Amino acid sequence: MVPLSFADEEWFLTEGRALYWPRERALLVADLHLEKGSFFARHGQMVPPYDSRETLERVALAIRETGARRVITLGDNFHDSDGSARLEPHAAGMLDALTSAVDWLWITGNHDPHMETRCGGTLAEEIEIGGVILRHQAKRGETRPELSGHYHPRLQVKVRDRSIRRPCAVVSANEGADGRPSGRMILPAFGAYTGGMNAADPAILNALQPANRIDAVVPAAGKLARFPLWQAA
């Protein structure tokens, strides 16, 4: 884990694409897209049907790594509204164990707007905790600290003639309505079968406006690597 300053406090970004919030003892993950493999299979694209197992194993590892007592997902938890009904017994058992072991909050996204609580935990469209807004999709014009997912940001840069493409978080810096420094963050997609959008895509940069600057951040060799994406003139 590497420390990351955000919303006037220290957080930790894990190598496994999760964000840990020490004050709340909360692990935040975005875009699990559970049962994406079985969704593809229903539509004739045969892929290994074990993505939910892999994703949930990674959640369990992140809980052990951080000592989190709470898990908050940031939407698109299942790939479609029927995903929870398709969980095979092993993955269903894993999810039940996780939601029983920690306080689990599902924030819903555009892929799961009608999600039910059959998988344990509680549901919310968005929530504010400790002055930080947690929602699935970044809201353009938001000036309060905000955490979201949705865009699956991926860093695409060349370093010393070597191309780098890897999931990243995107962080904006701005001045809040009260004049104090503020910021917003889009987390990388956590699910095993999730692709990515270029972190510098206009859709991401526009979603984080207003901002003074926007950076991509990734853990690298135990440190936080920061790559500028946009800066106000």
Q: Which of 44 and 87 is assigned the larger pLDDT?
A: 87
Distance CA 55, CA 122 (A): 20
Q: Say whether the peptide bond before residue 210 is cis (omega within 30 degrees of 0).
A: yes
**What are the pLDDT digits (tens) for 13-58?**
998 899 999 999 999 999 998 987 665 556 556 666 678 999 999 9
- Average confidence (pLDDT) over 83-93: 84
Distance CA 231, CA 162 (A): 24
Q: Which of 122, 33, 40 is nearest to 77 (CA)?
A: 33
Contact of 158 with 84, CB cutoff 8 Å: no
pLDDT band at 79 (very low <50, low <70, confident <90, very high): low
pLDDT for 219 beyond 70: yes
pLDDT band at 169 (very low <50, low <70, confident <90, very high): very high
Residues of the chain above pLDDT 90, percent? 66
CA distances from 103 to 118, 153, 196, 212 (A): 15, 27, 29, 35
- Average confidence (pLDDT) over 110-120: 72
